[in-house]
Amino acid sequence: MSDTDGKKPLGLRGARPGNVKQSFSHGRTKNVVVETKRKRVVVPKPGAAPGAGSTGGAVKGDPSKRPAGISDAELERRMKALAMAKARESEEAAAREAEEKARAEERERRRAEAEAKEREEREREEALKAKAEEERRKQEEAAAAKAAPAKPAEPQEAAPPVDAGPGRAVPARKTDRERDVRPERPTKAKPDRSDGGRRAGKLTLNDALSGREGGRQRSMAAMKRKQERARQKAMGGQVEREKVVRDVQLPEAIVVSELANRMAERVADVVKALMQNGIMATQNQSIDADTAELIIEEFGHKVVRVSDADVEDVIDSVEDNPEDLKPRPPVITIMGHVDHGKTSLLDALRKANVVAGEAGGITQHIGAYQVTTESGAVLSFLDTPGHAAFTSMRARGAQVTDIVVLVVAADDAVMPQTIEAINHAKAAKVPMIIAINKIDRPAANPDKVRTDLLQHEVIVEKLSGDVQDVEVSAVTGQGLDELLEAIALQAEILELKANPERAASGAVIEAQLDVGRGPVATVLVQNGTLRQGDIFVVGEQYGKVRALINDKGDRVAEAGPSVPVEVLGLNGTPEAGDILNVVETEGQAREIAEYREQAAKDKRAAAGAATTLDQLLAKAKADQNVAELPILVKADVQGSAEAIVQAMEKIGNEEVRVRVLHSGVGAITESDIGLAEASNAPVIGFNVRANAPARNSANQKGVEIRYYSVIYDLVDDVKAAASGLLSDEVREKFIGYASIKEVFKVSGVGRVAGCLVTEGVARRSAGVRLLRDDVVIHEGTLKTLKRFKDEVAEVQSGQECGMAFENYEDIREGDVIEIFERESVERSL
Ligand code: GDP
């Protein structure tokens, strides 16, 4: 009975681990789990022994059934062993059972824990969201509150949700059970670390501070990047900047600043790169395509060479629609033999018109003028009589003339120049009107003129031909109206039309360098309308229309087809016959002008070389000693240039000929020096001077520049040179240049120029010239040369001085004083 009672507690007690409290020094204690092994007392069950084993309880209960030879003590021992084995068995089963139970418990716990964690995460997320929202609202409200700052309740209201997240989350996480179960720690800590749980913890702080989730960390990085960028920029970090490779359009020549612009690089960098390549160029200087290509490649861009013709493509060359065309006045040139009365007739026509129109009106000679006939027709006359102008214009591609009025004196006959004029008109396919002039003269025989003309295939109307003929007198004014009506009729037949609505194009009739106004050109508008402010290219020059002045001297805002106007605002003096085209931008205009200049230079150089070859060939062939004296002429006005060229061409004998390589208007430039050098020619400056770069270039290349103010001196010199009469002569030697910085009025002396000697020396005894825009204004001697208060004999370059001219007062700031001495030198021309 007691056996069964003792069995259960024994088994249970054996499975339960006991706790032992260990004591250490300093009062520390430790609980140690101790598994106690109890001595098992096995009491055989009554009646259970027979089936239990070979030596079961039956043996114990019935000694008679026990095997023979086993003592009681032995039996009892065996019984005990049996009981113990049984007890161990049940003990082990209990332990297994307990273990399983513990495992199940653990599984359950983990599940619960995972759930709790999930809930916790959700809650935290929600809390964060709420917090962010709350923060946003707070910021908005703070912003709003700036206007009305008295709203303290809002931040307090926002506070609870900030704490709500972690507040709720912490108790949920730290349950007692979780805290106790040690093996579960890693599983709990792990998700926390990986899924931002820990960050969430940091965020809580950050949120409280900045109100933005992770904002602080990100903005730090952004700030660092920003700082890095700024640092790179400050250190010229553009090298590290991502390079954009551009296609750079490259014409034959390009201005440095424009090149930089096209590469989208800094001008300074381009100038520096040029310098590193040994080219000293400022941003306004032009460099050739090969140099530019080098630079473009250096900057890592792609070169797109623009062919020569492409540069001119911007000029509007679209054909006009017939419906856009409006009638335009005819342009008339008067031709004829010398002294037959061309100039008189032009004047008479003009005066007649002036008298009829505005009595006493002062007329302006701009190279062309307009006349209104009695019937109201407007006619444009070119004021440059003679076929030379006509042909030179035509040779330059400017066909401006619509009608030729051929003047033949009634008391004379058809003369060589009359025939030339007829041929020119025919070649140009321009209709003629015959003006039989000097009809007032007693010796006038107009019919003889008519029949003479027949020989040259000019059949006038009176002889049943189709060429109109009018008898006129420039002196008496007879027949002038008939002449005008004849011209108007001819114009009607021609049906001359132009489109006034397009960009203007026109031809230069006359051009000169005006002292006060700079380069001025008279342009006859051929198509379109030229307006003030228009940007244009004209020959090798370009500009922007600063002012337009008509033939009456009035400023006008615009000039339509067939209207002649003076154009101000050019960068240089074009040549008669140059075509003006309005373009869109100044860059385009400049590019075209530069291209043309280069092309002309090349052409001249080629022509010079060719002639030198021809010359050599001719020499070899004829074995003659005919030498050519090439010269280059630059003059202040077109008229002087032409006169010099004509005079030069007349000079010549069996031995020598003068050949004018080039003639033009304006200062002597570097390109002139280049051309002169190529042909070994001297440069003649007539009332003009070489600009500084040209002077330097001439010095370097050994090109001689000779200045003249009197055409006869020039002709004499050249003649003497050509004749080989090169004797010693008194020649000018330039000893210095000074520029006028200021002009004072000194009582007793007059106007005194405060100068800076820019080159050489200023000498009291020397001759002086006053130059304005490289044009000679005055030549004379000095009245005074002062350094500070003292009269001095000489002032060196780089020093300031006061100068006054003898008998000349018109000095201005910016003028240049040229100081020269005369010396006797051997002629070398
Ligand atoms: P150009 O060389 O063809 O320009 O001729 P000009 O106009 O200089 O005239 C030459 C000369 O002829 C001048 O002396 C004029 O006065 C004179 N003359 C021109 N036209 C007439 C005219 O219709 N009648 C008379 N009597 N003389 C004229």
Q: Whose CA is nearest to atom 24 of ligand 1?
A: 438
Q: How far is the CA of 336 from the centre of ligand 1 (A)?
A: 11
Is 603:529 a contact under the CB 8 Å cutoff? no
Q: Which of 153-167, 246-260, 337-351, 653-667 is the least confident region?
A: 153-167
pLDDT of residue 656: 65
Calculate how far, in angstroms, residue 340's C-alpha sits from the geometric centre of ligand 1.
Answer: 6
CA of 407 to the centre of ligand 1 (A): 10
Residue closest via CA to ligand 1's atom 12 equals 341
Going by C-alpha positions, the residue among 817, 812, 809 that lies closest to residue 746 is 809
Is residue 465's pLDDT more than 50? Answer: yes
Mean pLDDT for the stretch of residues 292-313: 81
Say if residues 274 and 256 touch (Cβ distance below 8 Å): yes
pLDDT of residue 386: 61
Nearest alpha carbon, ligand 1 atom 17: 341
| Residue 277: pLDDT band with limits 50, 70, 90 | confident
Whether residue 795 has its Cβ less than 6 Å from ligand 1: no
| Res 66: pLDDT | 52
Neighbours of 283 (CB within 10 A): 15
Distance CA 683, CA 668 (A): 8
Q: Decide if pLDDT at 288 tops 60.
A: yes
Rounded CA gap, 490 and 756, in Å? 62
> Is the CB of residue 340 below 6 angstroms from any atom belonging to ligand 1?
yes
- Atom of ligand 1 at shortest range from CA of 336: 3
Tokens of 348: 């008479």
Q: For residue 365, report the distance from its CA to the centre of ligand 1, in Å.
A: 19
Top mean-pLDDT range of 88-97, 108-117, 376-385, 605-614: 376-385
> What would the mean pLDDT of 143-148 be, rounded to a whole number?
55
* 821 Cβ below 6 A of ligand 1: no
Best probe residue, ligand 1, of 337, 344, 440 (max atoms within 8 Å of C-beta): 344
Cα torsion angle, 127, 133, 136, 141, sign: negative
pLDDT at 757: 93
Does the beta carbon of 475 lie inside 6 Å of ligand 1?
Answer: yes
* Between 246 and 6, residue with greater pLDDT: 246
In degrees and rounded to multiples of 5, residue 726 shows phi and psi of: -90, 90
Whether the CB of 474 sits within 6 Å of ligand 1? yes
Q: Is 415 in the pocket of ligand 1 (CB under 6 A)?
A: no
What's the pLDDT tens digit per position in 506-515? 999 888 888 7
In this prediction, residue 446 carries a pLDDT of 93
Q: Given a cut of 90, is residue 738 above it in pLDDT?
A: yes
Ligand 1 within 6 A of CB of 478? no
Q: Tens digit of pLDDT for each residue in 73-82?
A: 767 777 777 7
In terms of pLDDT, which residue wins out, 250 or 313? 250
User: How far is Cα 348 from Cα 350, in angstroms, rounded to an integer?
Assistant: 5
More confident residue, 38 or 233: 233
% of the chain surpassing 70 pLDDT: 68
Q: Per-residue confidence at 615, pLDDT binned at 50, 70, 90?
A: very low
17 Cα distance to chain centroid? 94
> Residue 167 has which token pair?
């507040």
Q: How confident is the model at residue 367 (pLDDT cuts 50, 70, 90)?
A: confident
What per-residue confidence (pLDDT) applies to 561?
A: 95
Please provide the DSSP assignment of 178-216 as one string.
Answer: HHH-GGGHHHHHHHHHHTTHHHHHHHHHHHHHH-STTHH
Task: Inform me whether the pLDDT recorded for 47 exceeds 60.
Answer: no
Q: What would the mean pLDDT of 503-529 be, rounded to a whole number?
A: 90
H/E stretch holding 2 reads helix 2-15
Using the atom order of ligand 1, give the atom closest to the CA of residue 472.
Answer: 23
Q: What angle do CA 34, 40, 46 make, to 5 degrees?
A: 150
The C-alpha atoms of residue 515 and residue 454 are separated, in whole angstroms, by 49
Give the model's confidence band at 431: pLDDT under 50 very low, under 70 low, under 90 confident, else very high: very high
- Quote the ligand 1 centre to 438 CA distance (angstroms): 7
Least confident of 71-85, 556-570, 779-793: 71-85
Summary mean pLDDT of the chain: 75
Q: CA separation (Å) from 139 to 26, 144, 149, 547?
A: 57, 8, 13, 63
Q: Give me the mean pLDDT over the 369-382 stretch.
A: 88
Q: Ligand 1 pocket, 719 CB below 6 A?
A: no
Give yes or no for residue 287 having a pLDDT over 70. Answer: yes
Q: Whose CA is nearest to atom 22 of ligand 1?
A: 438
Residue 387 Cβ < 6 Å to ligand 1: no
- Please work out whether the CB of residue 344 comes within 6 Å of at least one atom of ligand 1: yes
Question: What's the pLDDT score for residue 493?
Answer: 93
* pLDDT higher at 649 or 355: 649
Q: What is the mean pLDDT of residues 198-220?
A: 49
Average pLDDT over residues 227-232: 76
Q: What is the pLDDT of residues 672-692, one digit of tens each?
A: 887 777 777 788 898 888 888
Quick one: tokens of 226? Answer: 């920003």
Task: Indicate if the pLDDT at residue 414 is higher than 80.
Answer: yes
Residue 129 has pLDDT above 50, yes or no: yes
Is residue 313 over pLDDT 90?
no
| Nearest Cα to Cα of residue 471 among 449, 432, 439 | 439
Please give the average per-residue pLDDT across 147-154, as a whole number.
Answer: 45
Q: Is the CB of 165 under 6 A from ligand 1?
A: no
pLDDT higher than 80, residue 484: yes
Lowest mean pLDDT among 18-32, 219-233, 469-483, 533-547: 18-32
> Which atom of ligand 1 has the smallest separation from the CA of 437?
23
Q: Among 64-68, 124-128, 768-772, which is the least confidently predicted range?
A: 64-68
pLDDT for 655 beyond 90: no
Q: Is 210 touching ligand 1 by the criterion CB < 6 Å?
A: no
Nearest protein Cα to ligand 1, atom 6: 341
Ligand 1 pocket, mutate which of 339, 404, 408, 441 (most atoms under 8 A from CB): 339
pLDDT at position 375 over 70: yes
Q: What is the pLDDT of residue 422?
A: 87
342 Cα to the center of ligand 1, angstroms: 7
Least confident residue range of 59-73, 74-88, 241-255, 505-519: 59-73
Which of the four pLDDT bands, split at 50, 70 and 90, describes residue 164?
A: very low
Does the Cβ of 336 fall within 6 Å of ligand 1?
A: yes
pLDDT at site 506 = 93
The answer, yes or no, to whether any atom of ligand 1 lies below 6 A from the CB of 441, is yes
Ligand 1 touching residue 440 (CB < 6 A): yes
pLDDT for 39 beyond 70: no
Spacing, Cα 627 to ligand 1 middle (Å): 41
Task: Judge if the beta carbon of residue 399 lies within 6 A of ligand 1.
Answer: no
Does residue 567 contact residue 533 with C-beta atoms inside 8 Å? Answer: no
Instruction: Give distance in angstroms: CA of 338 to centre of ligand 1.
Output: 9
Ordered structural domains, the chain, with CATH: 19-119 (no CATH), 247-306 (no CATH), 329-495 (3.40.50.300), 505-605 (2.40.30.10), 626-723 (3.40.50.10050), 729-825 (2.40.30.10)
Question: For residue 367, how far is its CA from the centre of ligand 1 (angstroms)?
Answer: 19
Under 8 Å between Cβ of 705 and 685? yes
Distance 341 CA to ligand 1 centre (A): 4
The answer to which of 209-223, 276-290, 483-497, 621-635 has the lowest mean pLDDT is 209-223
CA distances from 778 to 237, 325, 534, 742, 816 (A): 57, 51, 35, 18, 11
- Quickly count: other Cβ atoms within 10 Å of residue 199's Cβ: 15
pLDDT at 697: 83
Whether the Cβ atoms of residue 506 and residue 554 lie closer than 8 Å to each other: no
Q: Give the pLDDT confidence score for residue 624 in this predicted structure.
A: 45
Nearest atom within ligand 1 for CA of residue 346: 7
21-35, 223-237, 769-783: least confident range: 21-35
473 CB less than 6 Å from ligand 1? yes
Residue nearest (by alpha carbon) to ligand 1 atom 18: 341
pLDDT category, 733, cuts 50, 70, 90?
confident
The CB of 338 under 6 Å from ligand 1? The reply is yes
Q: Is 438 in the pocket of ligand 1 (CB under 6 A)?
A: yes
C-beta 257 within 6 A of ligand 1: no
> How much distance in Å is there from the Cα of 441 to the middle of ligand 1?
11
- Mean pLDDT on 437-444: 93
pLDDT of residue 49: 43
By percentage, how much of the chain surpasses pLDDT 90? 22
Question: Across residues 421-445, what is the average pLDDT?
Answer: 90
**For position 185, what pLDDT does the model report?**
45
Whether the pLDDT of residue 153 is over 70: the answer is no
pTM of the predicted model over 0.75: no
Q: Is the CB of 385 under 6 A from ligand 1?
A: yes
Split at pLDDT 50, 70, 90, the class of 541 is: very high
Q: Whose CA is nearest to atom 2 of ligand 1?
A: 339
pLDDT of residue 605: 59
Q: Indicate whether residue 437 lines ligand 1 (CB < 6 A).
A: yes
Taking the centre of ligand 1 as the mean of its atom positions, its distance from the CA of residue 552, in whole angstroms, is 24
Pocket of ligand 1 contains residue 786 by CB under 6 Å: no
Q: What mean pLDDT do residues 432-439 have?
A: 95
- Asked if pLDDT for residue 276 goes beyond 80, the answer is yes
pLDDT tier for residue 322 given thresholds of 50, 70 and 90: confident
